[in-house]
């Protein structure tokens, strides 16, 4: 598939969800993805993860600015972050402009006909 990458690292902080994801990957014979039981913050402590990702996605986590701040060291320049956001997206973007130091807003991807979108950001 074009644009989705050839390797994926799925990071989940709940053990039961990691077990489910591992089992799903196994059953579906998806070999290009691995699952880590961890928190995003903890990856920042492991040198091999710094700047090694071309993409990042997040749903239902911290507000926009702190999420992008955590992702910045992990995503290499030119990479993307895709954040699942609802109607408060614009307020979150305006409330803390620090995210703009490392990221450019790169558009919205609509989901259905509701107010939920995926906001795309490009790493500077």
pTM: 0.83
DSSP-derived secondary structure letter, 102: T
pLDDT in tens, 12-40: 989 999 999 999 999 999 998 899 999 88
Q: Which residues of the chain have pLDDT under 70?
A: 1-5, 60, 114
Domain boundaries, the chain: 7-38, 46-123
DSSP-derived secondary structure letter, 60: S
In 3-state terms, what secondary structure has residue 11?
strand
Neighbour-count burial for 27-53, b at 16+ CB within 10 Å, e otherwise: eeeeeeeebbebebeebeeeeebeeeb
Between 3.30.1050.10, 3.30.70.1710, 3.40.228.10, 3.40.50.150, what CATH number should domain 46-123 receive? 3.40.50.150
């Amino acid at each position: 598939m074009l644009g989705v990458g050839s390797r994926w690292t799925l990071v989940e902080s709940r053990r039961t969800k990691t077990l489910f994801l591992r089992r799903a990957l196994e059953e579906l014979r998806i070999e290009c993805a691995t699952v880590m039981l961890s928190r995003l913050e903890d990856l920042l402590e492991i040198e091999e993860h710094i700047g090694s990702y071309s993409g990042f996605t997040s749903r239902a986590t911290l507000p926009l600015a702190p999420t992008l701040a955590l992702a910045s060291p992990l995503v290499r320049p030119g990479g993307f972050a895709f954040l699942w956001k609802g109607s408060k997206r614009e307020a979150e973007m305006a409330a803390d402009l620090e995210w703009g130091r490392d990221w450019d807003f790169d558009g919205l991807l609509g989901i259905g006909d509701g107010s939920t979108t995926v906001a795309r950001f490009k790493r500077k």
